[in-house]
Copies of this chain bind each other. A is one copy, B any other.
Amino acid sequence: MLFSGLPTRQESKGDVQRLSSSDLVMHFFGQQTLQSYRAHETILNQGDCTGYVFILVRGWTERRLGLPDGRCQTLSFGMPGDLYCTDLRARAPVNYTVSTITPVTIAIVGKLEFRAVLTGNPSLSRAFWREQQASLAIQQRWTGMLGLLGATEKVAHLFCEIYKRQEHRGGTRDGACVFPMTQTQIARACGLTQVHTNRTIQDLRRRGLIALRSRRLVVSDFEALARLAQYDCGYLDGENAPTKAACATV
């Protein structure tokens, strides 16, 4: 999911309606098996069937779709709190490859156990349904962005998204946040070449919209960046109505 980690707020455990799915998993499943990976390792291969749901506990991941001819496209970046393999059928193959960008730790829960707990907890089910809805909304948004935006707008959009995701988790300070992706990885996410991504980033820098070095992103004027990227936060929390953008042509 491009933005699965909904706002992590300080709440009582009882307020299930507002907890994020990863919180819920921790809450309901207690101790899980943990696994660690180094940077640039593959966690899951397109086509793999696994009997587990897993939760990203530490680090950043990249979810990619590969084509028969070898090209590949990044579908989303993962950060702590994101869930993978939520198709609960025992032998459901995954349609994407997940690999690590930084060192990563994941927690694993068996699908059987997962299903059993879900069945007994309507509120947990609802929370997962919601999260799933959010994932779909985000993927739809990203589909739109890839189809509609120019290179600069796409890259700016990605910066907005990564920044906001971290802001919601309290991961920003003075307009700065972590940004571990290389230009090549940004390029794969935006459907551009690495070379053009570089041109684009420099353009954004020249315009004073961002600063990016040593895995650190600084956004001094978020509004301006969002305007350029046509970035609309609405779709993230799903509570606020998104911009009613009229669509002229029918």
A interface, CB within 8 angstroms of B: 40, 42, 45-47, 49, 64-73, 75, 86-89, 92-93, 95-97, 99, 119, 122, 125-126, 129-130, 132-133, 135-137, 139-144, 146-148, 184, 188, 190-191, 230, 232, 234-235, 238, 240-250
What separation, in Å, do the CA atoms of A71 and B49 have in the docked complex? 39
Q: Chain B residues with Cβ under 8 A from A247's Cβ?
A: 46, 64, 66, 70, 72, 97
Question: Do residues B95 and A235 form an inter-chain contact, with CB atoms below 8 A?
Answer: yes
What separation, in Å, do the CA atoms of A88 and B131 have in the docked complex? 12
Identify A88's interface contact among B126, B136, B140, B144, CB under 8 A.
B126
How many identical chains are in the complex? Answer: 2
* CB closest residue in chain B, given A139: B139
What separation, in Å, do the CA atoms of A87 and B249 have in the docked complex? 27
Q: Chain B residues with Cβ under 8 A from A125's Cβ?
A: 125
Question: Do residues A241 and B142 form an inter-chain contact, with CB atoms below 8 A?
Answer: no
In this complex, the member of A45, A125, A238, A241 whose beta carbon has the largest number of chain B beta carbons within 10 angstroms is A241
Question: Do residues B249 and A72 form an inter-chain contact, with CB atoms below 8 A?
Answer: yes
Min Cβ gap A236→B in Å is 10
Question: Do residues A130 and B66 form an inter-chain contact, with CB atoms below 8 A?
Answer: no
Question: Do residues A86 and B139 form an inter-chain contact, with CB atoms below 8 A?
Answer: no
* CB closest residue in chain B, given A62: B250
Question: Do residues A93 and B144 form an inter-chain contact, with CB atoms below 8 A?
Answer: no
Taking A72-B249, A88-B129, A136-B132 as contacts, is the C-beta distance between A144 and B235 under 8 angstroms?
A: no
